[in-house]
Chains A and B, each alone.
Chain A
């Protein structure tokens, strides 16, 4: 078995383990606002796929640059886009039912 095959196999096993972890943890009841933390194993899985299957580390500088640019654009999109819901205060107006 070559080094590349061994790395791919270990990566696949790691991905299955992380997938099983997030699946198992999802059945535990915890606060609704904290449920998005279930994305953490998924983020580790994305990093594994990027590093091993997509070979980001062995790519030329411009490849790493484009990969980082994609990540930066995503952070800007999600960060700036979620600013409003994160910071807005919803005041209760008497006589009006706010959507739940």
Chain B
């Protein structure tokens, strides 16, 4: 029945547009739950910093701001590139979309490589909070250990989301190469774009919390 109406149009939807809108709304509902997931982390950050401001800021001053900033630029650029890819498929240019997907994946991988390098630097600098010889000592030690605990949890969860994002953008690239998308139907490209932009948003929020708030205090 679906093929009689339009390609990719399933029977339970009134029209292909209705089906596309439902898929996009479903992703938005998922993202609303993700907001709560990361919101808990932000609340923990607010609560811990309120009671341990000096220690928290001392921890924040030890972060590698150069890598964090480069990573922010990489992710902002990746969202721009993917968004451009979506605009290209709307103009019926799948080859351009494929190129945009590959660049987006490359930027995502570069982000993760830099993040891994940063983690190694942090551990080498004795900033892992469970270390007995933790670098920050004295009155600020407790707050700094809390900061670095939240840092490793938040950046790990974000990196996990990045891995999923790179995989689904790769899937979009493979489907594009197989000629599955056109200006008439490209709903998965839009849905994956929402997820990728959300992962970008999470980093936009984490960046000042981790690297900036404690720096000039």
Interface size class of B (residues with CB under 8 A): 35 or more
A70 to B139, CA, bound (A): 38
Q: How many residues of A contact B (CB 8 A)?
A: 52
In the complex, which residues of chain B have a beta carbon less than 8 angstroms from the beta carbon of A15?
A: 76, 80
Expressed in whole angstroms, the minimum distance between the Cβ of A67 and any Cβ of chain B is 6
Contact with A70, one of B35, B49, B55, B211 (Cβ below 8 angstroms) = B35
CA distance A99 to B48 in the complex (A): 11
Chain A residues within 8 Å of B87, by CB: 2, 4-5, 8
What is the predominant secondary structure among interface residues of chain B facing chain A?
helix
CA distance A5 to B204 in the complex (A): 22
A15-B76, A54-B194, A77-B36 as given contacts; A67 in contact with B28, CB under 8 Å = yes
Query: Which one of B36, B213, B215 contacts A36 once the chains associate, using CB atoms below 8 Å?
Result: B213
- State A9–B84 Cα separation when bound (angstroms): 8
Asked if A46 meets B84 with Cβ closer than 8 Å, knowing A30-B216, A66-B32, the reply is: no
10 interchain pairs, CB-CB under 8 A: A4-B86, A19-B207, A41-B208, A45-B204, A49-B200, A53-B193, A59-B24, A62-B25, A73-B35, A86-B50
- Report which A residues bind B (CB closer than 8 A): 2, 4-5, 8-9, 11-12, 15-16, 19, 22-23, 26-30, 32-33, 35-36, 38-39, 41-42, 45-46, 49-50, 52-54, 59-60, 62-63, 66-67, 69-71, 73-74, 77-78, 81-82, 84-86, 99-100
